[in-house]
């Protein structure tokens, strides 16, 4: 259902879930969604309310009064969506489609809540003297306005390099953290009378490791080796695993594992854990294992949050740099992180060896931003879209990961990323550095000197 939601819209749903838990409610109601929308102080919704002289804090209090009418069943660690919330999501998708929008924005969600007949918000606003219909019309007009012509990122039009996915998967199988999972999964093939490894065998193998953290997390969501196997036994066809060709892995198993590798590279970890495989499965949204999770009514967004919490507590340079790069993309109204924003992320991080080398060479945040904005432009066209990586940025992440592994590091560091950028002479990042009077040779030598001095 949430595949078409923008990152901002998904974050609103996540915030509503947290709100429901904080109120000890068993379910997520439209009022929780509304509170989450009003907490985004930079949103069009809040700004519009301000124009109409509506006190946001007072409105929140009114909504919380409405929530007090909901029976507090018990303190809940996990909550589910109420039928009314599910209705809201369906209406949201319909509104976006009717207005010709490709993705669901928070404003679509707000309109769906606004139009919901069982919600008392409209009456509350009318009591405050607000022209509800006028505001509603304004929101519809904004969302139905002609969509701006998209300007492609310079690195998004590059010819894609042909990559043999199986080569990447081999490194995953050989990883000490994952090898036992695949050993068990492959052993299951003979008993299942299949010759090609699918997501279902991989999931079964993960669930059978009762001592692992991910097995405990999945159990909290009602997914155990027993419940999964029971659902699996009900399936008579493997059609959900195949698309257009057969390889050593089913296409959707391969997609899941490729997603896991992408996630690991983005967070800068050299080791691939079972948690990453589950995150890859949730990202793929396909295959037998994913379908079973849906049948078991697993809330994939809560599961993803639960898995990411311990991972994100171990913040490393690369993960932090990627976050900064994405923030910069949003700041300039773009939805693509290219090589130049990874470079800017390194400069903004400021404390790494790579950042120190760039600073020694005269690269500062202000100058780097100005040059990069000149090269890729500044726009507000993509500010509500999903953030993606350019093909060149993906190659840099892959190269940095391989550099770290060749040096037996447990994590990718900022200097690995900077060296990987230097290995891409035609990238936007290197064009930016050239304008700043810096070349690859100076960077490589600077990194080498810094690392040597740190060992003395």
Structural domain range at position 130: 2-143
Same domain, 71 and 187: no
Comparing 332 with 44, the larger pLDDT belongs to: 332
Q: Look at residue 347 in the predicted model and tell me its pLDDT.
A: 93
Same domain, 9 and 87: yes
Q: Look at residue 341 in the predicted model and tell me its pLDDT.
A: 94
Number of Cβ within a 10 Å radius of residue 55: 12
Q: Look at residue 247 in the predicted model and tell me its pLDDT.
A: 40
User: How many residues in the chain?
Assistant: 456
Q: Look at residue 152 in the predicted model and tell me its pLDDT.
A: 64
Which residues partner with 36 through β-bridges?
Answer: none
Q: Look at residue 174 in the predicted model and tell me its pLDDT.
A: 55
Same domain, 51 and 111: yes
Q: Look at residue 177 in the predicted model and tell me its pLDDT.
A: 62
Which of 313, 348, 369 lies at the terminal end of a domain, its last residue? Answer: 313
DSSP per position, 291-335: HHHHHTT--HHHHHHHHHHHHHHS--HHHHHHHHHHHHHHHTT-S
Question: Measured between alpha carbons, how far is 134 from 128 in angstroms, rounded to an integer?
Answer: 14
Question: Measured between alpha carbons, how far is 105 from 383 in angstroms, rounded to an integer?
Answer: 11
First to last CA, the chain: 56
Q: What CATH number does residue 302 fall under?
A: 1.10.1780.10
pLDDT by residue (tens digit) across 252-266? 888 888 888 888 787
Is residue 293 situated within a structural domain?
A: yes
Same domain, 294 and 329: no
Is the pLDDT at 344 greater than 90? The verdict is yes
Same domain, 305 and 184: yes
pLDDT by residue (tens digit) across 285-342? 888 888 898 888 888 878 887 887 776 666 678 888 988 898 888 888 888 889 999 9
User: What is the arithmetic mean of pLDDT over 14-21?
Assistant: 85
Comparing 51 with 382, the larger pLDDT belongs to: 51
Which of 95, 110, 143 lies at the terminal end of a domain, its last residue? Answer: 143
Is residue 127 situated within a structural domain?
A: yes
Same domain, 435 and 366: yes
Tell me if residue 81 falls in helix, strand or coil.
Answer: strand
Question: Measured between alpha carbons, how far is 85 from 27 in angstroms, rounded to an integer?
Answer: 9
108-120 burial code (b ≥16 CB/10 A, e <16): bbbbbbbebeebe
Question: Which stretch of 111-115, 311-315, 406-410 has the lowest confidence by average pLDDT?
Answer: 311-315
Question: Counting beta carbons within 10 angstroms of the beta carbon of residue 3, is it exposed (0 to 12), middle (13 to 18) or buried (19 or more)?
Answer: exposed
Same domain, 349 and 408: yes
pLDDT by residue (tens digit) across 362-400? 999 899 999 998 888 876 544 445 688 888 998 898 898
The total number of structural domains that make up the chain:
3
Is residue 160 situated within a structural domain?
A: no
Comparing 142 with 373, the larger pLDDT belongs to: 373
Model confidence at 160, pLDDT cuts 50, 70, 90, reads very low
Same domain, 225 and 243: yes
197: phi then psi, degrees, rounded to nearest 5 = -75, 130
User: What is the arithmetic mean of pLDDT over 427-453?
Assistant: 88
């Amino acid at each position: 259902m949430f595949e078409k939601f923008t990152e901002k819209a998904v974050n609103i749903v996540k915030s509503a879930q947290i709100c429901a838990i904080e109120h000890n409610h068993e379910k997520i109601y439209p009022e929780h969604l509304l509170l989450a929308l009003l907490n985004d102080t930079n949103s069009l919704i809040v700004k519009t309310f301000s124009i109409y002289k509506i006190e946001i804090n007072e409105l929140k209090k009114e909504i919380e009064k409405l929530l007090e009418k909901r029976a507090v069943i018990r303190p809940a660690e996990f909550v589910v969506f109420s039928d009314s919330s599910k209705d809201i999501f369906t209406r949201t998708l319909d509104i976006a489609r009717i207005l010709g929008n490709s993705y669901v924005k928070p404003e679509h969600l707000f309109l769906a809540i606004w139009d919901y007949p069982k919600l008392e918000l409209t009456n509350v606003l009318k009591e405050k003297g607000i022209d509800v219909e006028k505001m509603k019309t304004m929101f519809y007009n904004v969302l139905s306005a002609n969509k701006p012509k998209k300007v492609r990122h310079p690195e998004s039009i590059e010819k894609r390099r042909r990559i043999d996915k199986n080569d990447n998967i081999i490194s995953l199988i050989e990883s000490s953290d994952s090898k036992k999972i695949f050993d068990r999964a492959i052993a299951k093939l003979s008993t299942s009378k299949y010759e090609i490894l699918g997501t279902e065998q991989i999931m079964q193998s993960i669930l059978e490791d009762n001592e692992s953290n991910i097995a405990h997390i999945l159990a909290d969501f009602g997914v155990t080796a027993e419940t999964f196997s029971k659902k699996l036994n009900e399936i008579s066809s493997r059609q959900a695993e195949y698309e257009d060709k057969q390889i050593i892995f089913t296409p959707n198993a391969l997609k899941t594992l490729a997603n896991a590798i992408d996630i690991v590279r983005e967070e800068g970890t050299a080791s691939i854990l079972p948690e990453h495989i589950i995150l890859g499965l949730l990202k793929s949204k396909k295959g037998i294992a994913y379908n079973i999770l849906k049948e078991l009514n697993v809330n994939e967004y809560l599961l993803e949050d639960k898995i990411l919490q311990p991972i994100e507590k171990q913040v490393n340079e690369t993960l932090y740099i990627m976050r900064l790069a994405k923030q910069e993309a949003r700041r300039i109204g773009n939805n693509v992180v290219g090589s130049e924003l990874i470079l800017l992320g390194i400069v903004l991080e400021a404390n790494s060896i790579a950042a120190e080398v760039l600073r020694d060479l005269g690269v500062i945040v202000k100058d780097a931003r100005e040059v990069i904005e000149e090269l890729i432009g500044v726009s507000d066209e993509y500010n509500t879209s999903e953030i993606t990586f350019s093909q060149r940025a993906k190659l840099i992440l892959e190269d940095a990961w391989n550099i770290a592994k060749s040096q037996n590091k447990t994590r990718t560091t900022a200097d690995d990323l900077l060296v990987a950028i230097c290995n891409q002479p035609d990238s936007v990042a290197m064009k930016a550095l050239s304008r700043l009077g810096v070349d690859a040779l100076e960077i490589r030598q600077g990194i080498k000197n810094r690392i040597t001095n740190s060992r003395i």
